[in-house]
A and B are shown apart, each in its own frame.
Chain A
Amino acid sequence: MGAEQAWLLAAIPAGVFFVLALFGRYLPRGGDYLGVAAIGASFVLFFFVAADFLSFYDFEAHKTFITESISWSEIGNFKLRQGIHVDAITIVMFAVITTVSLMVNIFSVGYMKGEPRYYWFFAVLQLFVASMLLLVMADNLLLVYISWELVGVCSFLLIGFYWEKRSATEAAKKAFITTRIGDVGLLIGIILLWKETGTFDIQQIIHAAEAGEIGQTYLFVSIMFVFLGCMGKSAQFPFHVWLPDAMEGPTPVSALIHAATMVVAGVYLTARLLPIFEAADGALLVVTIVGLTTALLASLIAFAQTDIKRVLAYSTVGKLGLMFVALGAGSPAAGLFLLMTHAFVKALLFLGSGSVILGTHHNQEMDKLGGLWKKMPITGTTFFVATLALAGLPPLAMFWSEDELFASVNHEWGLWALVLAMLAVFATAIFMVRLFIRTFAGEPRDRQVHEHARETPLVMTGPLVFLCVLAVVSGLFVFNGVGSALGFPGGIGEFVFLEEPERYAIDWTLAGISLAVAVAGVLIGAYVYWGNSLVRSTRLAEAMPRLYAALRNKFYIDEMYQYVIDRGVLGVSYVVSWFDRYVVNDTGVDGSAQVTGYSGSILKYLQTGRVPNYAMAITLGVVGLTVAGLLVRA
């Protein structure tokens, strides 16, 4: 089993999807064990793939990727190959996707117990994971697009899993339509790139772009269209509106979407095509600005939200923004490292909140929670670690990845970008502490809820503990020592890179500042919300009523969209629909249909059912053709 067979990783869950979708309802326990087994198999196979790849990998000898493809169709000049491309980026993505999905799968066995359509949940989960795995190993943009859309469909199905609830169907629609807008951009971008290079193969397109075979403006425009797709999928401003609503799905799905399978697709694709972004002047600046805007905006909005999952959702949007900032600084190492550490931490947070929700019998409003740490010690402790990790405290995972980020931003764009990125981190630290205190610490705000809260079973706390360990240690991948021990000497900086491998070297000034920012954030958060008393925070909110209202209402972005759709889109659509009804439909469609139907009704009288008439038709046919033939030739 080598890296050439990496396609098995996606094939196994995909196969199980079909089994579960067709026969799941007849299987005992809805076949959930099959789902766990399939993802578990992918998880195990990942180690074989990674081991094979690492033993093959040699930067000096230009052995940086393994590829395997088959001819899909070869018709005339049109040749299409489908295949997989395994390189360092793929390996990192594999690690994230298989680990997080396995944990989510196991967790779901406990969380979804007794839900209706239990088997269907597990079936779609398999397809979701399979399409994401396919996406990260696809060697051509066509396959990328197909799996990209599959991911979108699965998220639609899972967000709308409780389709009896109106809010769930609305959220599913919103997620689907918002990301679709970006996807149209992606498709246009892919077609533009294909038109110029004549291939869908990612590596060939990258070569063409680097060799300057594509005009600057053309390249910029087409890669920006591709980036639109990435923005939609990764919930970047102004497409970020779908992600907070997407928590309407079951909580394990939120964990999956936020950590491993949905939103990171955009980050992945940008990282994969980063050489093209770099070849197009100004593209990286756009990426950076989009990332920074999103990060700041989301961190601010998160302050005023009271739903646990909604706060977490905005923190995801913010961190995704930072990933794009890292990529915009030209550092896939920082981007993917941040993606990986964030995935573990965020999966932990979401599963932890799922544990809270189940432990308190479906309560996710912070206004009713509080003081849960004693009641749910494992969930509380792991959540505590994750909160500090997300806030960026050393030696937890995200400190190291954010340090990489700051270093590359500082190097590429200088002070202004660095300050903005740190502001986002600072804000995250504050609202994460707020979230933790209001949920787990202090006095319970609702006795009733508190009384009935209890710790969740092992099948749910087990994944929490596992992810908690990763949230602590996964930051260490950045160090040479850890990397050497695992087979990629030099740490992640020498494993994932754009042009030259770069070893991580700690910059004490930056690290110190980043530490100070994180600690300050944590302390301020602790000061304002200590003891889960809202005295200080309420005073703050009253001091700035306008700002508070704006934050509470998410800067009115949803309302603005609604206004634009109501006035603009519906207005235009009224005119179009008039044209469609009277000109296209009545004249064009109905008119031509009537002509066609009429000719058919005339012709049918030729079919008399009498043999002599038929024979006459044959004879006339021959005579007519012969006469015509003689005339044509004469």
Chain B
Amino acid sequence: MRDYALFVPEYIAAGWAVLVIAIELFWPKVRKDTLAYVTAAGALAWAVSALFYIGNEPESFQGLIQSDNFTTYFRLLAAGIVAAVSIMSANYLRDRTKTAGEYFGLLLVAGCATVYMAAATELITAYISLELLSFCLYILVGYLKRDNLSSEAALKYILLGAFSSAMLLYGMSLLYGIAGSTSYEGISQGLAARDQGGTDAGIVVAFMLILAGVGFKVSAAPFHMWAPDAYQGAPLPITALLSTLSKAAGFALILRLFSLAFVVDAVEWRWAFATLAAVTMTAGNLLALQQKNLKRLVAYSSIGQVGYMLVTIAAIGYGDATVGVNATSGLLVHIVGYVVSTLALFTALTAYYNKTGDDTIVGLRGLAETQPFLAVVITASFFSFAGLPFFAGFTTKLLMFQGATTDELLWVIGLAVLNSFISLYYYLMIVRQMYLFDPIPGMVRFRINPVMWVMSAGLMLGVLLIGIYPGPAFKAAENAAKPLFQQAEPGVAARQP
């Protein structure tokens, strides 16, 4: 049966996107910040409708897309991100462009694409969802077309995006040739039925190509080089979108793909994830030390964070289904902690940028005097990234590594702890700028938009809440993780060397 009702929340989001564009089309004089709040309301409606899907039995649409708790988890996450980013953009866009309808419409579409990446259970669907997200992001990154950096960033992003998409497609074709199916379940069966003797060079090549494609999406080293340039050039709220929505979407796709389709041949790819994790976290953190621009610094620090997250994917490969559930729920809850901290940071940075137009690290000098509240929010989110206790990052990272610990991965986790020390240095350098230095001459105390104030306060409270009382968030993540492994278990057991 074709159950079109499975994706009602996304109809709302997509419909709202059209609505937002239409509003501006027929009423060009509409205030751009009004459009932002309309979009946020749409995202909220989307989230509310998604609430009805919590706990529903997993149901598949034609074996292509699956609606289950995992999908719903990302629905709520994507809706939240879109709402936050559109509110963040309200004044930013009003001051910089004359047309904003497409911008907000694309935000909602990007959110839908994320959900489909989480829901896809078939290669072509997954690929199209990924491209849908990418195209939204290409446009959004280059939205300030009179800004040279913005255009350059978009161009680089498109070129490299196309390049890695090609790799992904090539990998998928090879895989189809080997497994004889494009559905995740079919691939899993096809791989299991293969001749057991020796290694098939084709399958290694296929996996590595796919790895490069999805690794590009989450900006894992050495596929990360676009990220700093794109982050720096993009409008500030879109930088927030890149480091939250795009990464969450990438991990959603990786999680379902690797835990469902590829887990049978885990032995062929798990070491690669461990290696990538180690390389990514080290490269991200070392390079972050050298940055002078805030957006670039956040880009590298988020690359470092991705390194930590990749450990869990390796853990899925090394462990059994129990480890898989634990590692996945750890990763899911950490994504939430990371997203909330990042959004808090960017809300504060955008509020600050709207006033000063400065995105260098030294520009934050003396912020504790000119705008103490923003300084507190920024400090809280950096403490969360660095993993200091009582902040979200500490608790969720602890949960993640606890779930992902297997004997083979201890070395990576040790390296992650070492990297956390390094990261503390550059986070504290910024905190030092804000608290220990006098403001730049001429800077006086300024006020910020009350909406931004409320949002940053709320997000900061979220950071603390997750840090101190992670129980409910972890429970939700655990429920979201279960469907992935319930299906894998009865099918075929992982082949061990």
Which chain A residues have a beta carbon within 8 Å of chain B's beta carbons? Answer: 71-76, 593, 596-597, 599-601, 603-604, 606-607, 609, 611, 613-615, 617-618, 620-622, 625-626, 628-630, 632-634
Contact = CB atoms under 8 A, between A and B. Distances in A.
Interface in B25-43: none
Interface in B51-94: none
A597 B422 CA distance: 10
A467 B290 CA distance: 66
Nearest to A606: B225
Contacts of A607: 225, 228, 287
Given A72-B471, A618-B223, A626 B208 contact: yes
Given A76-B326, A603-B283, A633 B199 contact: yes
B289 interface: yes
A628 B272 CA distance: 9
B283 A629 contact: no
A618 B163 contact: yes
Nearest to B272: A625
Contact of B223 (A597, A606, A621): A621
A622 B156 contact: no
A629 B222 contact: no
B226 interface: yes
A615 B212 CA distance: 11
A626 B164 contact: no
A614 B288 CA distance: 18
A74 B222 contact: no
Nearest to B198: A633
Nearest to B276: A625
Given A73-B470, A617-B225, A633-B268, A597 B289 contact: yes
Residue from A603, A626, A630 having most chain B Cβ neighbours under 10 A: A626
A601 B160 CA distance: 25
B474 A621 contact: no
8 contacts: A76-B326, A593-B425, A607-B228, A614-B160, A614-B226, A618-B163, A629-B268, A629-B272
Interface string B253-275: 00000000000000011011001
Q: Report the interface size class on chain B.
A: 35 or more
A590 to B, nearest CB: 12
Nearest to A73: B471
Interface in B286-302: 286-290
Contact of B204 (A72, A618, A630): A630
A621 B286 contact: no
Given A611-B160, A629-B204, 8 more contacts: A72-B469, A73-B470, A74-B475, A596-B422, A600-B290, A603-B283, A618-B222, A626-B208
Contacts of B199: 630, 633-634
A417 to B, nearest CB: 45
Contacts of A71: 471
Contact of A75 (B226, B290, B402): B402
Contacts of B223: 617-618, 621
B359 interface: no
Residue from A611, A620, A625 having most chain B Cβ neighbours under 10 A: A625
Interface of B is mostly: helix
Contact of B156 (A604, A614, A629): A614
B463 interface: no
A73 B287 CA distance: 36
Interface in B111-163: 156, 159-160, 163
Contacts of A597: 289-290
Nearest to A625: B208
B226 A622 contact: no
Contacts of B160: 611, 614-615, 618
Interface string B182-199: 000000000000000001
Given A73-B471, A74-B471, A596-B286, A618 B272 contact: no
A632 B271 contact: yes
A600 B289 contact: yes
B211 interface: yes
Contacts of A632: 271
B287 A618 contact: no
B399 interface: yes
Nearest to A621: B222
Nearest to B291: A604
B229 interface: yes
A634 to B, nearest CB: 7
B205 interface: yes
A620 B164 CA distance: 12
B474 A75 contact: yes
A614 B204 contact: no
Residue from A74, A593, A603 having most chain B Cβ neighbours under 10 A: A603
B422 A618 contact: no
B16 interface: no
A630 B287 contact: no
Nearest to B211: A625
Contacts of B228: 607
A611 B222 contact: no
A615 B161 CA distance: 10
Contacts of A72: 469, 471
Closest 10 CB pairs of A and B: A633-B199, A614-B225, A600-B286, A621-B222, A600-B289, A629-B204, A73-B471, A625-B208, A626-B208, A617-B222
Contacts of B226: 614
B216 interface: yes
A622 B204 CA distance: 10
Contacts of B204: 626, 629-630, 633
A615 B163 contact: yes
Contacts of A615: 159-160, 163
A431 B272 CA distance: 80
A69 to B, nearest CB: 13
A22 to B, nearest CB: 11
A621 B212 CA distance: 8
A604 B286 CA distance: 9
Given A73-B469, A629-B268, A622 B289 contact: no
A609 B226 CA distance: 8
Contacts of A76: 326, 402-403
B383 interface: no
B497 to A, nearest CB: 9
B157 to A, nearest CB: 10
Contact of A618 (B201, B212, B403, B425): B212
Contact of B212 (A74, A622, A634): A622
Given A73-B470, A596-B422, A626-B208, A618 B268 contact: no
Contact of A596 (B167, B289, B470): B289
B321 interface: no
B179 interface: no
B474 to A, nearest CB: 6
A311 B275 CA distance: 70
A629 B399 contact: no
A600 B287 contact: yes
Contacts of B215: 621
A622 B287 contact: no
A606 to B, nearest CB: 8
